[in-house]
Copies of this chain bind each other. A is one copy, B any other.
């Protein structure tokens, strides 16, 4: 089975970029998309319309492919085990997926493996949450399951607000973890790709800039020094082994007083690796496909001294696609990626990557293009 049929659960921009990166090697990818205007559908990907949260839709989709993989975590987890029993490979496996999809489970797995994570509490109701804020000041509250792009993540300074927020989440059936706000030196991420044989490759660590829990920009080299970078690689590989990843594992980390803490994991291609499309030998998307297909992985090394990616984030209903013509004129060397998503405020609509000799220059150039597309204000 040199080129198994790969089913991707999800039809968003990650699915779209997997599709784009599958053409050269001739992989047959099928997508379980939520709607006819999902990014991968508009790009021409073969698809079934269905809900990733429906066990029936997932199982029916799985019968049409050899291997199942994912572009998001909002998936009916119980269905995955039965899909494996029915003979479809699920990569990453249901265990990995369940661990990573839930923040409390993930934190427990990291602690068990001896990896450093931020201190957190698990307030069971609004009163407990309010007490945390009263005692230790501003906290961040995160839904344990189902959040993404800052949705499900709340920065709270007042006890009353914490009480209302957490009571509402608990009433909705969600579990919560909370952390006192940390004084971060920086945030960074490392992408590990792990093959079915357990071998791993690691992309150069990147520095990320987040705003309200949403990734705004990514840069490499990280500028955080060789020791921090070496430690990030080490933690990334250890995390991938701890959760038994197959394919991309994105490991997001905090740098606090020079020390690294594992904050989040994602067992799929990730926003912190979009620069790999234009600035490394093999993109994270191609390597994810190669890994879940059971094939040898490609070189993750950089093709440029420095690279920066800035996300194009929706501002009101402005459509960056209408500014493409001008944006292409701004910088002949910029790589503009648009996801063909309906514009909505704060929605990720695309990204711009620039390779250059220095990170500062790459960021500045990408920023000019993003401004022309009419995305968010560029992070400084």
Question: Chain B residue with minimal CB distance to A339?
Answer: B26
For residue A377, CB closer than 8 A to chain B, the reply is: no
Whether A24 and B337, one on each chain, are in contact in the complex, defined by CB atoms closer than 8 angstroms, is yes
For residue A340, CB closer than 8 A to chain B, the reply is: yes
Whether A328 and B295, one on each chain, are in contact in the complex, defined by CB atoms closer than 8 angstroms, is yes
For residue A335, CB closer than 8 A to chain B, the reply is: yes
* Interfacial chain B residues near A168, Cβ < 8 Å: none
* Interfacial chain B residues near A20, Cβ < 8 Å: 20, 23-24
For residue A117, CB closer than 8 A to chain B, the reply is: no
Tell me how far the C-beta of A330 lies from the nearest C-beta in chain B, rounded to whole angstroms: 9
Question: Chain B residue with minimal CB distance to A337?
Answer: B24
Please measure, in the bound complex, the distance between the C-alpha atom of A44 and the C-alpha atom of B21, giving whole angstroms.
13
Q: Mark A329-355, 1 if CB is under 8 A from B, else 0.
A: 100110111111000000000000001
Whether B26 and A333, one on each chain, are in contact in the complex, defined by CB atoms closer than 8 angstroms, is no
Please measure, in the bound complex, the distance between the C-alpha atom of A25 and the C-alpha atom of B350, giving whole angstroms.
9
- Whether A355 contacts B19 in the complex (CB less than 8 A), given A24-B338, A44-B46, comes out as no
* Interfacial chain B residues near A51, Cβ < 8 Å: none
For residue A270, CB closer than 8 A to chain B, the reply is: no
Chain A contact residues (Cβ within 8 angstroms of B): what range? 35 or more
Q: Mark A20-57, 1 if CB is under 8 A from B, else 0.
A: 10011110000000000000001111100000000000
* Interfacial chain B residues near A321, Cβ < 8 Å: 2-3, 26
Among B303, B304, B333, B339, the residue within 8 A (CB) of A298 is B333
Question: Chain B residue with minimal CB distance to A45?
Answer: B44
Tell me how far the C-beta of A201 lies from the nearest C-beta in chain B, rounded to whole angstroms: 8
Tell me how far the C-beta of A296 lies from the nearest C-beta in chain B, rounded to whole angstroms: 4
For residue A357, CB closer than 8 A to chain B, the reply is: no
* Interfacial chain B residues near A277, Cβ < 8 Å: 24
* Interfacial chain B residues near A299, Cβ < 8 Å: 332-333
Please measure, in the bound complex, the distance between the C-alpha atom of A77 and the C-alpha atom of B336, giving whole angstroms.
35
Whether A297 and B332, one on each chain, are in contact in the complex, defined by CB atoms closer than 8 angstroms, is yes
Tell me how far the C-beta of A4 lies from the nearest C-beta in chain B, rounded to whole angstroms: 11
Whether B296 and A329, one on each chain, are in contact in the complex, defined by CB atoms closer than 8 angstroms, is yes
* Interfacial chain B residues near A333, Cβ < 8 Å: 281-282, 298-299, 301
Question: Chain B residue with minimal CB distance to A327?
Answer: B296
Whether A16 and B23, one on each chain, are in contact in the complex, defined by CB atoms closer than 8 angstroms, is yes
For residue A325, CB closer than 8 A to chain B, the reply is: yes
- Whether A328 contacts B23 in the complex (CB less than 8 A), given A44-B44, A298-B333, A333-B301, comes out as no
For residue A324, CB closer than 8 A to chain B, the reply is: yes
Q: Which residues of A295-316 have CB atoms within 8 Å of chain B's CB atoms? A: 295-299, 301, 303-304
Please measure, in the bound complex, the distance between the C-alpha atom of A17 and the C-alpha atom of B298, giving whole angstroms.
20
For residue A322, CB closer than 8 A to chain B, the reply is: yes
* Listed A/B pairs (13) with beta-carbon separation below 8 Å: A3-B321, A20-B24, A24-B335, A24-B338, A25-B336, A26-B338, A43-B44, A44-B45, A281-B332, A290-B328, A296-B325, A296-B328, A298-B333
Could you tell me which A residues sit within 8 Å of B by CB distance?
2-3, 16-17, 19-20, 23-26, 42-46, 277, 281-282, 290, 295-299, 301, 303-304, 321-325, 328-329, 332-333, 335-340, 355
